[in-house]
Amino acid sequence: MDNLQDIRERVHAQIEAFRHTHRGWPSAQGYLYYTPTTSAHDGRILARSKRPGPGWKLVQPGPLQSNLSAASIVQRLTALGILGRLPVLALTN
């Protein structure tokens, strides 16, 4: 991810994918996780029901709000400055 727009698009896509995968399970709660960019790898963002593994951190406390669209969640996280502070941008283009 090279800029804030890339982050916004990735978050949107991850939320949509999670909801599509869990559409038959209305009680499934999704969470946004990230791994920061390091010299060894670029940062990543995933939406999952459980932490994907060691080193993954929550983007925000609490689950994704099921009553909001993916676009609304992205807009809210952007307005709160949460997405702009994630250390996930690529070190090189």
Break the chain into its structural domains and give their ranges: 4-85
What contacts 64, CB < 8 A, 6 or more positions away?
15, 18, 29, 30, 31, 32, 47, 73
State the CB neighbour count (10 A cutoff) for residue 60.
14
* pLDDT score of 93: 56
- Output the tens digit of pLDDT for each of the chain's 93 residues: 999 999 999 999 999 999 999 887 877 899 999 999 998 889 999 999 999 999 999 999 999 998 899 999 999 999 999 999 999 988 875
* Dihedrals phi, psi of 22, to nearest 5 degrees: -105, 20
Cβ atoms of 38 and 90 within 8 Å: the answer is no
- In angstroms, the CA 36 to CA 16 distance is 22
